[in-house]
Amino acid sequence: PRLCSVDVKVQDLTPGSQGHNLVLQVVSIAPTVEKKRYDGSTSRIAEAVLADETGCVIFTARNGQIDLLEEQLVVVVRNSNADIFNGFMRLNVTQWGKLSLHPDGVESTPPPPPSVNTGNNISAIEYELVTVDDAAEE
């Protein structure tokens, strides 16, 4: 069954959650890194801090997505996932998702954030994978 993506705010993101739509302002962009792929081609990756009025998150941008990111611009992130990378949360767009500039011409797209909250950086929280032992519960 296909799941619908849902409009959320940064504060609503939880590790491993999927299908988020957000309207965020670009706060900063880290330098682009080029990585060699197994097939010999290269892939460009850059991390950007994106924020709304509830907090900020690090977004992992790939290839053409990087070209859309410019400080102060507002972007629409559709069908994104909140994944854990090296113990910290990162937002990224799936192959079925999209990163576009706001306004994106879609009537249901929420307005841009009224402000940005960089004090609540949800990517600064370290997460630890905990294994639950079912036998201990018996």
User: What domains, with CATH codes, occur in the chain?
Assistant: 6-137 (2.40.50.140)
| Higher-pLDDT residue of 6, 137 | 6
pLDDT band at 136, cuts 50/70/90? low
Residue 117: predicted pLDDT: 98
Instruction: Answer for the pair 23, 80: CB distance below 8 angstroms, yes or no.
Output: no
Residue 1: predicted pLDDT: 47
Note the pTM of the prediction, 2 decimals: 0.89
Quick one: what percent of the chain has pLDDT higher than 90? Answer: 86
What mean pLDDT value characterizes the chain? 92
**Per DSSP, which regions of the chain are E strands?**
6-7, 20-29, 33-36, 42-52, 55-62, 74-85, 88-101
